[in-house]
Structure 1
Amino acid sequence: MRIAFLVGTFPLLSETFILNQITGLIDRGHQVDIYADSPDLDKFHGDVEKYQLRDRTYYRPSWSYPHTKVLFKGLGLFLQYFPQNPMVLLRSLNVFEYQKEAYSLRLLYAAIPTLGKQPYDIIHSHFGQWGQKGVNLRKIGAIKGRLITSFHGADVNSPVWYSGGGTYKKLFQFGEKFTVNSNFTGRTSDCFRMSG
């Protein structure tokens, strides 16, 4: 199977549960690609080198502030990658559909590493916010596959992620499967799903 992981920082020493899942799938003969926002290579588990996971990891173009730098860099990225998949990049800027994700250029930046990749059997997002990103990337056609989202607690216990009109509403509507790390997280996730 072809499996994509959507995560925030990778590799992250504290998230060995994600690393173990990735290496376990590789050991079973699956093709794994990792899409992350940023690396943390100061300290990392030995399996990162053993499994050559940096060769399997695709990072979003680096984000720099102030926002004017993001805009100018985004314009350059748009022009550079436009020939590869113009419709995906144009859809990533649809502010009517994706609001802040589009006008902040977050969706454009997130789409860049996925361009030209073959469809996946599974897209596995760790934490709800990356599941939401997976929904948006799929909707614009940047990535293809069945979406599984794993909730780990912080993503359902923080009002940042579920306030303001239901951050996870699209995720529960368009995601195929959901896993949780505890019964408490599961009950909390179910409350969001029913209220969305």
Structure 2
Amino acid sequence: MKLKVIHILDIFPSKSETFVINLILESIEKGYSAQILANRILNSKDSSQESLLLESGLYKNAETFNPNIPQNKLKRILLAIKVLLYNIRYMPVFFKTLNTKRYGLKAKTLKMWFQASIFLKYREADIFHAHFGKNGKLLSEMKDIGAIKGDIITSFYGYDTFSTDNDRTYFKNYYKSTFVTSNNIVTSSRYLFNNLICLGVPEHKVLINPVGVNIDLFRYRNRVYSNRLHIITIGRLIRLKGQHLGIDVIKILKDRGYNVQYTIMGDGDEYHALIDKIEKLELKEEITILKGGSQEKVLEELYKNHLFLMTSIKDDLGREEGQGLVVAEAQSTGIPIVCFNSGGVPETVLKNKTGFVIEEGNINEMANAVEKFILTPDLIVSMGKDARCFVEENFNNKIQSQNILRLYK
């Protein structure tokens, strides 16, 4: 009999969370039964892995745990009664959802009542895997009222580990039940683990398991350098990703007389600000911004370039990059890295072997590091080969997935 695993997601599908789908598909291949429950379900075309989702049946069978609830109070109550009658043997579960002192507005509006009715359909599943902390919180509530019985694994990937001195007490209380109820906590870097320690996570429950790369998709390709260094940065266009500093680096290199081409790939709020900066610095010939696309498009662009610039920095709120999966993906194809020493990114680079790690925000030192590849082009190939080996040994998604499957067992 197959072990049944229910995966709890916020948005499905999501272009930026391909690693979750890779894990789920790997588990199916290894004989597990998988079901997705998501807060919001988008069109399959919103995924960069549409064909995989359709072929596997994951998209067809996905269900939302956030059903439409009537705004009209009377209609809401009548529907709640109907749901109760349909699940009458679980009456105690439903009445526990009405604890306003414990569950607040979710209890008062009957939202938790309706959520419980959905989770009850999967009550006998063996394992519930929450992807991101707030979904672990939801599972702890469902376990508390008896809507589910199985073991819980909660994976924290980045922003969900972050707290400041001002809000740390709030998040400690928020995640307290999650840490207690979860049989295992998974996170992807030592940096994120340290964030969780600040929130009171029990250390013995934590597995540090980096998000892996599909090395069969992100294949190695030898680079040939000729007169112009092609550099790329891939990521959401937000302040934390630091693409504005990448533009400054290109300006320095141009002023030094070097022939460079810089591609920024992604979508986000900083798009127009970056365009304005490129025009102001007269770098339209040197810099191109491409809107984000499928994995195939990402690969196509990676293969065109010699060097990956990882410009992520601490943002105004104090948040940093949790791991930087794209750094591992780039190295898998044979691209060396130049990155800032920020968050979990340095854990994804073998310093001075597969790339250079620079003091955060130091654009002159970053430009100096890039300059080394122009003056010594052989570094592109030698570091690129080391980068591929480094990823195969440390960020292979099949190995990383096996670590999670061992938890399932």
TM-score (norm 2): 0.43
SS at match of 1:147: strand
* Paired AA for residue 17 in structure 1: F
CA offset digits 1:104-137 (Å, max 9, x no partner): 4332232232223341221110111100100001
Identical positions, percent = 25
Q: Does 1:15 align with 2:20?
A: no
Q: Distance in 1 between matches of 2:61 and 2:42?
A: 15
**Greater RCO (CA < 8 Å, at least 6 residues apart):** 1
Q: Distance in 1 between matches of 2:80 and 2:151?
A: 27
Q: 112, 116, 123: which is aligned to 1:111?
A: 116
Q: Say if 2:125 and 2:150, in contact at 8 Å, map to a contact too.
A: yes
Q: Say if 2:54 and 2:60, in contact at 8 Å, map to a contact too.
A: no
CA offset digits 1:19-53 (Å, max 9, x no partner): 11111111111111111111111422221101111
| Residues matched between the structures, number | 192
Deviation (angstroms), 1:100 = 3.3
Q: 1:162 to 1:127 in 2, by over 3 A?
A: farther
Q: Does 1:94 align with 2:96?
A: no
Deviation (angstroms), 1:14 = 1.6
SS at match of 1:168: helix
* Paired AA for residue 182 in structure 2: G
Contiguous gaps of at least 5 residues in structure 2: 203-409
Q: 163, 170, 177: which is aligned to 2:170?
A: 163
Q: 33, 47, 53: which is aligned to 1:48?
A: 53
Contiguous gaps of at least 5 residues in structure 1: none
Tell me which moved more, 116-125 or 142-151. Answer: 116-125
Q: Say if 1:156 and 1:185, in contact at 8 Å, map to a contact too.
A: yes
The aligned residue for residue 179 of structure 1 is 186
Q: Say if 2:13 and 2:42, in contact at 8 Å, map to a contact too.
A: yes
Q: Distance in 2 between matches of 1:134 and 1:153?
A: 19
Deviation (angstroms), 1:71 = 4.7
Q: Distance in 1 between matches of 2:111 and 2:168?
A: 16
CA offset digits 1:74-126 (Å, max 9, x no partner): 42441221021322222112113322332243322322322233412211101
SS at match of 1:5: strand
What do you get for the CA RMSD once the two structures are aligned? 2.5
Q: Say if 1:38 and 1:62, in contact at 8 Å, map to a contact too.
A: no
Q: Distance in 2 between matches of 1:162 and 1:43?
A: 36
* Larger Rg belongs to: 2
The aligned residue for residue 26 of structure 1 is 28
Q: Distance in 1 between matches of 2:91 and 2:168?
A: 30
Q: 1:114 to 1:188 in 2, by over 3 A?
A: same
Q: Say if 1:161 and 1:168, in contact at 8 Å, map to a contact too.
A: no
Q: Does 1:188 align with 2:190?
A: no
Q: Say if 2:11 and 2:41, in contact at 8 Å, map to a contact too.
A: yes
Q: Distance in 2 between matches of 1:144 and 1:107?
A: 17
Q: Say if 2:15 and 2:46, in contact at 8 Å, map to a contact too.
A: yes
